[in-house]
Structure 1
Amino acid sequence: MASMEKYKTLEIVQRNPNSPVFYLHLNLPSQFNALSRDFFSEFPKALDSLDQNPNVNVIVLSAAGKHFCSGIDLGSLNSISEDHLSADRGLSGEKLRRRIISMQDSITALERCRKPVIASIHGACIGGGVDIITACDIRFCTKDAFFSVKEVDLAITADLGTLQRLPSIVGYGHAIELALTARRFSGMEAKELGLVSRTFDSKHELDQGVRDVAEAIASKSLLATIGTKAVLLKSRDLTVDQGLDYVATWNSATLLSNDLKEAVSAQIEKRKPVFSKL
């Protein structure tokens, strides 16, 4: 089990040295992985290093300790309030806006990362934790995990992506109800809502199930999985017509690849394909 670069709030691990599946752990278990200032600076750097690493095909985002994420660190919230108190309301407002945009960008790094990211969720996933998982590509959880779009209880309008991404995952009606009530809901309900694709009876079964899915995706052509992620994300904001035009342009650049020849040959020869690294 190889550990990579050193971070204060995160850990990158390659559990199997022969596998292109890498694990990015939220790693502040004593604080239930609350999101600190350090997290917001480290998270995009860690994702970028995984994105640039040619040995990585799939990233699993999971968490150390009892809970996935307890939301934004309350000390950080206090410091944000104090940092931006100023006699000049316009200047302090502009400075706060830039801070929020920088924090948003740290979460959007999940979508900017070309490689697929699978969220593996256990325990609590609260507030900023929901911002994070809605920016991941696939979500799995334990049945006894629990979630809350918590921000209204802290007198905040959620601003790191939940209100933008959750409606397209669970539907507008469910999203606004969850966001306005801030109520807690279970892993089982998360599955019913479509927030997660599957639930597992235990953390051990979740780990195994996520590993199996990650390995299956990692065995496919990275050119194809990267393209699929990019086109789906882009098409979310386009009409069907525009989306079709975008994928035609994408494929005009990437379709005629060695991976395509290898996939066809492997099917004909009834063997496992061996695809290119990027």
Structure 2
Amino acid sequence: MDKLSCFSLSIENHVAHLVLNRPEAMNTMGPTFWKELDAVLKHLHRAGEARALVISSTGKHFSAGMSLDTFSSAIQMDDSSPEGRAAIFDSLTDIQATFTLLETLRIPVIAAIHGGCIGGAVDMVTACCIRYASADAFFCIQEINIGMVADVGTLQRLPKLLPMGLVKELAYTGRRMPAAQALSQGLVTQVFDTHAALVAGALQTAKEIASKPPVAIWGTKQALNYARDHSTEDSLRQMGWLQGAIWSNPHVKEAITAMKQKRQANFPDLTPLQGFKEFG
């Protein structure tokens, strides 16, 4: 990976830790943020070394969302003609695709959220598998407060994580939802007293995930995401195909043997991916 300016990335014992590291700018999301996040996620997806990813942050807030100067520089939101307005669709599709990588990544993603999770940051964490928060965390669909509709995934993913009435309240008012309410409503699954405890807890869960067979974790993520968007009947059919594709007697034997022997199980990494264009 090239040197990152908006993030730091480390991988230890098959756990990747991606840290937003522009606290002076409240970890806002400008053009470099999108470029680097896209590159990091694609790298992790292809390499196969990491078995879980934790995303945490620095400073006062997890992220204050989209950098406002992005709209006047990198992204041309031209509403003066139908052609310009049509181009907005393609610009947004490109941005949306980066957060969708969190959903399609071959490994689980845990967001460790402290302070403000605002605007585009809500878009990002709703695409993660698991969300932990510190006691000072809050969530805000900020877009309505600056005269626009949230457009990078919040309105599509949040209704699958929270009651629709609550989503509408948050989206229409731009109110802040504190960590305690997020926990009671299921948006986050654990709340920690401090930022340090939050990150440690997220990394511990990631370590536990990384101890399981990576291909079984991959299959579980595939099945859960599919079931979220399809009927039970269709999802059961997909499960049969999926299990038939990845079943491994050696993995099951190793897991059971390691459990009986009270030792760490040993499983192969996911196979590194090579793009078709790279052949030849």
State the TM-score bracket (shorter-chain normalisation): over 0.9
Greater RCO structure (CA 8 Å; 6+ sep): 2
The answer to whether structure 1 residue 188 and structure 2 residue 185 are counterparts is no
1:251 maps to amino acid: Q
**Matching residue of 1:10:** 7
Alpha carbons of structure 1 residues 249 and 23: separation in structure 2 relative to 1, 3 Å: same
Q: How far does the alpha carbon of each residue in 1:106-158 deviate from its partner, in whole angstroms, 9 at most, with x for none?
A: 11110121111000011111010000000000000101111101111111111
The whole-number CA distance in structure 2 between the counterparts of 1:61 and 1:207 is 9
The whole-number CA distance in structure 1 between the counterparts of 2:201 and 2:104 is 25
The alpha-carbon deviation at position 27 of structure 1 amounts to 2.1
Give 1:147's match in structure 2, choosing from 134, 139, 146. Answer: 139
Structure 1 residue matching 2:73: 3-state secondary structure: helix
Alpha carbons of structure 1 residues 257 and 66: separation in structure 2 relative to 1, 3 Å: farther
Q: Which moved more, 1:200-209 or 1:122-131?
A: 200-209
1:172 maps to amino acid: M
**Matching residue of 2:58:** 64
The whole-number CA distance in structure 2 between the counterparts of 1:179 and 1:84 is 22
2:105 maps to amino acid: C
The alpha-carbon deviation at position 52 of structure 1 amounts to 2.1
The answer to whether structure 1 residue 114 and structure 2 residue 106 are counterparts is yes
**Matching residue of 2:45:** 51
Give 1:39's match in structure 2, choosing from 33, 46, 54. Answer: 33
Alpha carbons of structure 1 residues 80 and 177: separation in structure 2 relative to 1, 3 Å: farther
TM-score w.r.t. structure 1 length?
Answer: 0.92
TM-score w.r.t. structure 2 length?
Answer: 0.91
Structure 1 residue matching 2:229: 3-state secondary structure: coil
The whole-number CA distance in structure 1 between the counterparts of 2:265 and 2:74 is 51
The whole-number CA distance in structure 2 between the counterparts of 1:101 and 1:112 is 16
Any residues of structure 2 matched to 1:66-105 within 5 Å, and which? 66-79=60-73, 83-85=76-78, 89-105=81-97
The whole-number CA distance in structure 2 between the counterparts of 1:104 and 1:86 is 20
The alpha-carbon deviation at position 268 of structure 1 amounts to 4.5
Task: Name structure 2 gaps, 5 residues minimum.
Answer: 271-280
Maintained 8 Å contact 2:31/2:74: no
The alpha-carbon deviation at position 235 of structure 1 amounts to 1.4
Maintained 8 Å contact 1:22/1:56: yes
The whole-number CA distance in structure 2 between the counterparts of 1:32 and 1:272 is 40
Any residues of structure 2 matched to 1:139-178 within 5 Å, and which? 139-178=131-170
Maintained 8 Å contact 2:251/2:267: yes
Structure 2 residue matching 1:69: 3-state secondary structure: coil
Q: How far does the alpha carbon of each residue in 1:171-216 deviate from its partner, in whole angstroms, 9 at most, with x for none?
A: 2111111111110121111111211000001112112211211111
Aligned length: 270
Task: Name structure 1 gaps, 5 residues minimum.
Answer: none
Identity %: 35
Maintained 8 Å contact 1:140/1:198: yes
The whole-number CA distance in structure 2 between the counterparts of 1:73 and 1:12 is 22
